[in-house]
Amino acid sequence: MKTRHPLVRRRRARVAYGVIVLLMGTLAAVFFRVQVFRSSEWMLRAESNRLRPLPIPVPRGTIFDRHGHIMADNVPGYAVTVLPGPPDSVRATLQRMRRYMDLPDALIGRLLGTLRNNGWQRLVVDADADFEVVSKLEEHRSEFPDVYIEMRPRRRYPAGAAASHVLGYLGEITSDELDSRAFAEGGYASGMVVGKTGIEREYESEIQGRRGLRYVEVDARGRRIVGDFAGFAADPGAPGQDLHLNLDMELQQWIHRIFPDSLSGAVVALDPADGGVLALYSAPTFDPNAFVGGIGAAPWSRLSTDERRPLFNRAVMGLYPPASTWKLATAAIALDRGVITPDETMPMPCTGSFWWGNREWHCWGRSNHGFLDLAGAIAHSCDVYFYQLGLKLGLQGLIDGATNIGFRTPTGIDLPQESPGIFPASKEYWVRRWGYTPTEGEALSLAIGQGPNSQTPLKIAQFYVALARNGSAPPPSVARGVELGEAWSLNLEPEHLAALREGLRRVTAPGGTAHVETTLEYWDVIGKTGSAEHALNQMGLAPTHAWFAGMAGPKGADFEIVVVALVEYGGGGSTTTARIVAKTADFYLRRKYDIPVDTLQTLGELLRTTGWPSWYRSPAGATP
């Protein structure tokens, strides 16, 4: 075998040594770069594998009424969550948890669906767990290493069902809401609880607050919590802002107490000084506390399928023919346009009916009112007077006047939902809706608050605020200190406003249609009744809707509260609704002037002789 020269072997050895040195130097450089220059990056990755960030819910802002009473606050609560992991593992965990808490198959299916769509997100099993459930899970902590229990602020509504529609309720944010403009900012994420309706929704961005952040330590597979990690400072977040309202919580509760419990309707009370909402009540109602932590399928089904529609806010969304409460608007339009003067009578006296065209138009009850001036026509609610007034104004005059007053637009209240009024914008309304060109006869129905005219109780209350003050009315405001827009005005002379109020005063004076129901010991009450026809009533299947719109204050002084009550199928407005309005005003003013509230209120002597009316919910222990 040929032997290589020693020089050749040494040369090759030096090359090999050089290659080895080069490789070792490269490895050393790489190790140095990884261990020194990029050490923080690798440490962060290691920590990321070991830690899981968890948001810290912060308390929503407390909501106070005008007197500082709490209408919504927070109490300690517990949430049970499961860390994300393989679906089979999460399913097994949920099945084991069923031994200690109620987990329907539907809920488990929904949680697993969330896991498939957002594999990184914690699964909220119960956002408002009972303490007994939490105790059982903690007692068996070794069985649930991937279950996390945290203390969360729990919303509480002390007024309960009395203020549910105006305050609203909470619920978990939906995917559609996350994609909407309303929640585009503010750090919203899946699993957060947000306001769904009412004030909770309207002022969501202020009340919500900013969530904090903390970290928990998990095992190498990221499936088990092995302890809280305190090495990184957690962000505590910031609680929501407190909110102060114009509402009077005790007045809300009083209205809830006296409203006919078997009927549906609404009550709105406004402060004529600034348009502040003193009370806004809708019946039937619901308890917003039932929504805290998520409402169950069965309770939600009962609420959403109830024919009485307890979730529907009739005060700001219900549309009803305003009936005779609208006659004040007809009169205001006529006075503004110079069509009549307060002491003017109509050409034809009221004989119980009025002929126009080929039809006889009846006065209510076929009453024979004779010749009346404006105040007398309002006092007697004379249809014949207002039929003729409608013809004097003309159909176009009524349309233009109602549009100028704002009966086709919302009031602008600071609530997320409000229905605009229904009123023709032009004569084309009849062509589009029913396919015929209207005659001047349409003005007869519109003049008495019937026909294509539907308004919310809130809109009627805003109009009566204008009558109670100088002819102008600001947008009703639930929250204190908010600017909601410009006030609108009726453009009436002081003597014209005085004539309208005189008509309202005669309604509640001795001999008036609502005298007995509205007579109060300390206060003046004036207002207007209304009996609104509707489809079922015209078919003889139900009574009319009952209205009463009024205002009250100390005798001989300015009015300090405007109240409108609407009771569906309540019959004559001078009975049920007039009593509600009088009792509401009496309660508010007695408390304002520190006068003891008589349990029997305005009907003391009458109730002592006739007993409690069927619609009145007697206070516990009280007897006539």
The answer to whether residues 93 and 31 belong to one domain is no
Q: Is 20 exposed, middle or buried (0-12, 13-18, 19+ CB in 10 A)?
A: exposed
Q: Per-residue confidence at 335, pLDDT binned at 50, 70, 90? A: very high
The stretch 376-382 carries a mean pLDDT of 93
The answer to whether residues 152 and 80 belong to one domain is yes
> Of the candidates 244, 263, 287, which is a domain's last residue?
244
H or E segment to which residue 136 belongs: helix 131-139
The stretch 18-41 carries a mean pLDDT of 68
161 belongs to a structural domain: yes
Give per-residue pLDDT as tens, 503-531.
999 999 988 888 888 888 899 999 999 98
Query: Do residues 534 and 545 lie in contact, with contact meaning Cβ atoms separated by under 8 Å?
Result: yes
User: How many other CB atoms sit within 10 Å of the CB of residue 503?
Assistant: 25
Give per-residue pLDDT as tens, 574-600.
688 999 999 999 999 999 999 988 654
508 belongs to a structural domain: yes
623 belongs to a structural domain: no
The answer to whether residues 178 and 258 belong to one domain is no
For residue 613, pLDDT over 70 is answered with no
Provide the CATH number for the domain around residue 338. Answer: 3.40.710.10
Q: What mean pLDDT value characterizes the chain?
A: 85
Q: Residue 180 sits in which domain range? A: 52-244
Q: Per-residue confidence at 233, pLDDT binned at 50, 70, 90? A: low
- pLDDT at position 232 is 55
The answer to whether residues 123 and 265 belong to one domain is no
Provide the CATH number for the domain around residue 72. Answer: 3.90.1310.10
Q: Per-residue confidence at 610, pLDDT binned at 50, 70, 90? A: very low
Query: Do residues 315 and 266 lie in contact, with contact meaning Cβ atoms separated by under 8 Å?
Result: yes
The answer to whether residues 401 and 479 belong to one domain is yes
Compute the half-sphere exposure of residue 57: CA atoms within 13 Å on the CB side of its CA. 26
The answer to whether residues 207 and 268 belong to one domain is no
> Of the candidates 244, 260, 275, which is a domain's last residue?
244
- pLDDT at position 44 is 46
The answer to whether residues 221 and 294 belong to one domain is no
Q: Give the span between the Cα atoms of 196 and 168, in whole angstroms.
A: 7
3-state SS class at 126: strand
Residue type, position 206, single letter: E
The answer to whether residues 451 and 374 belong to one domain is yes
- pLDDT at position 148 is 80
The answer to whether residues 543 and 459 belong to one domain is yes
98 belongs to a structural domain: yes
| Number of independent structural domains in the chain | 3
> Of the candidates 203, 227, 244, which is a domain's last residue?
244
Q: Per-residue confidence at 605, pLDDT binned at 50, 70, 90? A: very low
493 belongs to a structural domain: yes
Give the E-state strand segments of 534-598 in sequence order: 545-554, 561-567
The answer to whether residues 179 and 272 belong to one domain is no
618 belongs to a structural domain: no
- pLDDT at position 37 is 56
Instruction: Supply 610's token pair.
Output: 């006739």
Q: Which of 116-125, 188-197, 391-400 has the highest mean pLDDT?
A: 391-400
pLDDT cut 90: percent of the chain above it: 51
For residue 49, pLDDT over 70 is answered with no
H or E segment to which residue 28 belongs: helix 6-32
- pLDDT at position 234 is 73
3-state SS class at 552: strand
Q: Per-residue confidence at 214, pLDDT binned at 50, 70, 90? A: confident
pTM: 0.83
The stretch 280-307 carries a mean pLDDT of 91
617 belongs to a structural domain: no
What are the DSSP calls for 353-402, one per residue?
EEEETTEEEEPGGG---BS--HHHHHHHT-HHHHHHHHHHH-HHHHHHHH
The answer to whether residues 236 and 269 belong to one domain is no
Give a three-class secondary structure readout of 466-499.
HHHCCCEECCCECECCCCCCCCEECCCCHHHHHH
For residue 564, pLDDT over 60 is answered with yes
- pLDDT at position 114 is 79
H or E segment to which residue 218 belongs: strand 212-218
The answer to whether residues 605 and 586 belong to one domain is yes
- pLDDT at position 612 is 45
456 belongs to a structural domain: yes
Q: Which of 15-24, 139-148, 157-166 has the highest mean pLDDT?
A: 157-166
